[in-house]
Every structure is written in C-alpha cells, then in structure tokens.
Amino acid sequence: MIRGTVPPTMPRDLHDHYFREAKREGYRSRAAYKLKEIDDRKKVLRRNANVLDAGAAPGSWLQVAWERVRPGGVVVGIDLQAITPFPPDAAIHLIEGDLAEVPDDALLAPVRSPGGAETRFDVILSDMAPATSGDQTIDHHQSVRLARLVIERAPGLLTGGGAVIIKVFEGEAYPELLGEMRTCFKQVKGFKPKASRSISREMYVIGTGFDPSAAAHLTGDTPPPPPRRPKPGPGWSNG
Ligand SMILES: C[S@@+](CC[C@H](N)C(=O)[O-])C[C@H]1O[C@@H](n2cnc3c(N)ncnc32)[C@H](O)[C@@H]1O
C-alpha cells in the first residue's frame, strides 16, 4: 500500500462497505476493489509488467496496479483531470490529457529502456467514464466510444499477447463491441464485479491474447476479419 496519498475529498455513499474499506486501507477510491476482484479472477497484472491506466483519476487503480507489478513494472496513468502525485519510490507516471489526443510516444516514454528500445504495455486498463447526461442511451454510446478509443489505440501501445480491462456501460451496442474485440483478442469476456453497484450498468470487458496482426483493420489499413466465436466460461457473462 502506498500510504499518505489519500486526497482530502472522497466519493459518495459514506455508508458503503467498499468506501469504508478503501478509507481503511488507504486507497484513493472504492474502485480499487473492482480491479482487485477482476484481476484475482483473470490474473492479467503480473509482476514486472508495464501497465497503462486510462481514466486513472483519482488513482486507486494505479495503486492496485503498482502493488501487483512492482518492483520491476511501470504504471502510466492518464486522465483529463490532474492526479495527486505518488511517492517517488513507486514507478507510477502521470499524464494529464485526453487519451484521444496524447500521442503513443508520450504514453510509452516512461516504459522505454534507457537505450530507447521499443517497449509496449503488457496491459491497458480503462475505467474511463463519460460525464453522465442522465440519459442511459446517450451515456451508453459515449462509454462505448471511450471503449473503442482504447481498442483503436491498442496496435500502437499494446504488446502482442497483451491484455485489456475496459469499463463500458451496457446497452444495445455492447454485443457489437465484444464482437469487434474478438477480431483481435484471443479471449473476450464481460464481468460485473461485486464492488460495482448493482444499480450501475457498468461492465468490465477483459480481452486477453492481443493479436497485433489481426488488429491492422483498427488503424484503417485492412478490412475487419469475421468475428471469432465466443467460448463461454463459468461465472462470466458474454453479453
Ligand atoms: C471512474 S473515474 C476513474 C477512477 C479510477 N479508476 C480510480 O480507480 O481512481 C473515470 C475517469 O475517466 C476520465 N476520463 C474520461 N474520458 C477520458 C479521456 N478521453 N481521456 C482520459 N481520461 C478520461 C475522467 O476524467 C474520470 O476521472
């Protein structure tokens, strides 16, 4: 745990179990427990891995990611909002900006070796959420747009065989999003962690086994291949 880094203001629902746990354990938000539960199931955050966390503020996923990839890993967090810095002994690099606009080189700079050798992220996390409008359909499509943004950036940022964990609000375009992801990830599954409020429509889509050659269509070079057939597993929802 990275101590002494909890910002003075915390999110809603003072009586929430996960909120109290986050405060007790020193996490910046209750969202930490969503990533812990997802990763306990899928084990994508490995020791010494390089991780990009998109939509990282206030920073609880950064804390969880660092706990799991240290001592040799690097975590890069990007958000539209400024993130309170972490102690310098944690290899957590912060970028204030829009994932749609910050170039690959700027995101990858912290994981490049001193000689500048090409290195990519092993995992991309996205808990990005749009500013909610109150209209579920609009919010759903905005969240799918953010999820697609992550997938579109994957060819430039994610290593072959790499993984993504992406939040999306469920709705009519959700099955299509899973189908698109299945064209370039070996396995794609949706998961609703217990720490996610039951009234929330958020789901987390986990894609593993990224195939950069199958993702060429994402950069507009080749047409998309037909979707792979899903393989359902116990406890996992395929939408
Ligand atoms: C639910 S919060 C993330 C919480 C975070 N995972 C944590 O554990 O502290 C969603 C964040 O997504 C960010 N966001 C939304 N769109 C973004 C974009 N295009 N680029 C970067 N960040 C974005 C928002 O600013 C917001 O801080």
- 3-class secondary structure per residue, 33-44: HHHHHHHHHHCC
Does ligand 1 have an atom closer than 6 angstroms to the CB of 38? no
34 is known as an active-site residue: no
Does ligand 1 have an atom closer than 6 angstroms to the CB of 61? yes
SS3 54: strand
Mutate to test the pocket of ligand 1, among 80, 124, 151 (most ligand atoms within 8 A of CB): 80
Higher pLDDT among residues 221 and 201, named by residue: 201
pLDDT single digits (tens) 70-127: 999 999 999 999 999 999 999 999 999 999 999 999 999 999 877 767 799 999 999 9
Report residue 2's pLDDT band, with 50, 70 and 90 as the boundaries: low
Indicate which residue of 34, 36, 43, 167 is catalytic: 167
Distance 115 CA to ligand 1 centre (A): 32
Does ligand 1 have an atom closer than 6 angstroms to the CB of 22? no
Assigned fold of 36-160+178-219? Rossmann fold (3.40.50)
d(CA 55, CA 96): 10
Question: What is this structure's pTM?
Answer: 0.88
Does ligand 1 have an atom closer than 6 angstroms to the CB of 150? no
d(CA 39, CA 90): 20
Report residue 233's pLDDT band, with 50, 70 and 90 as the boundaries: very low
The contacts of residue 171 (CB under 8 Å, 6+ apart) are 136, 137, 140, 141, 144, 201
Distance 237 CA to ligand 1 centre (A): 24
Higher pLDDT among residues 63 and 18, named by residue: 63
